[in-house]
Every structure is written in structure tokens, then in C-alpha cells.
Amino acid sequence: MFARTFILDPSRVGPRSLRLLSSLLIAGALACGGGGGDTPTNPGNPGNPGGTPAPVATTSVNLQSNAFSPADIQVSPGATVTFTNLDGYAHTVTFDNTSISSIGSYSSGAQTVTMPTATGTYAYHCQIHGSMKGTVVVK
């Protein structure tokens, strides 16, 4: 009650106090920020503010403009992932874990890979274009 009366009583609160209070409120709001998104359907990644984006939950990856899109995906155990080459020239999808079947050189169309049932993160790349890299998180 005292704080409320104090804040609402103009004779007791000067401009200096209001500036201090404003600064504290702004600092508190900034400190509470974090991985929020920009829309209600894109809530962001509150558990990883400012870090690496979470993998996209999908089973489709495009090979386009010398990149995997999306490069980092999340799938269920044993899921089939479809890699579609839209570039019109050769790419591979080569998994670092050799127990996963890789896709050899292909110039167009779609190829599929069945992911393991064991959870984990599986890195892949294009053997022809070294900058093309991605991961599949089985979760």
C-alpha cells in the first residue's frame, strides 16, 4: 500500500525518481527477453535464445543453390527423408555415419533415405560441394 501511495502521490515523486523508475522497468523488460518469436505461430526457441536454431520438423530437404534447405531437420526414429535435387546438376547426400545409406551423385529428382531408429544427431554433406552440410536429429 505504501509503495502505491508513494508512486501515485505527485508531491512525493520528482522527475529524477521517474527517470530512475523508467530505467529500472526497461532494464527488467530487457532482462526478461529471450528466444521469443515474431508471431503467435512462430514462438521462437525459448530454450535456446540467440543460439543455433532448432532443427525443422520435416521429412523433406531440397538441394538448391548449392545448399540443403532446410539443412538441419528433426525426424522420428525410422523416418524416411526425401532429398529433392532442384539444381539440375550433380550432388550427393553422404552421411558421416556409414551405417546410414548415402545417396550417390544425382542431378535431378527425389531420393530417399531411411533414418535409424536410434535417437541422435546424424551429420551429412555433399561430397561434390564441401560447403553443403546438414544434420538430421532423430528424436
Task: Dihedral sign for Cα 37, 43, 49, 52, please.
Answer: negative
Per-residue pLDDT of the chain (139 residues; tens, 9 = 90+): 455 444 445 555 555 555 554 554 444 444 444 444 444 444 444 444 556 678 899 999 999 999 999 999 999 999 999 999 999 999 999 999 999 999 999 999 999 999 999 999 999 999 999 999 999 999 9
Phi, psi of 31 (to 5 degrees): -65, -30
pLDDT given for residue 62 in this prediction = 98
What are 64-85's pLDDT values in tens digits? 999 999 999 999 999 999 999 9
Domain range summary for the chain, segments of one domain joined by +: 2-32, 56-138
**Residue 102 and residue 92 in contact, taking contact as beta carbons nearer than 8 Å:** yes
Q: What is the pTM of this model?
A: 0.63
What 3-state DSSP class applies to 17?
A: helix
- In CATH, 56-138 is 2.60.40.420: yes
pLDDT given for residue 23 in this prediction = 53
Query: CB burial class (10 A; 0-12, 13-18, 19+) of residue 44?
Result: middle
Give the separation between CA 122 and CA 120, rounded to whole angstroms. Answer: 6
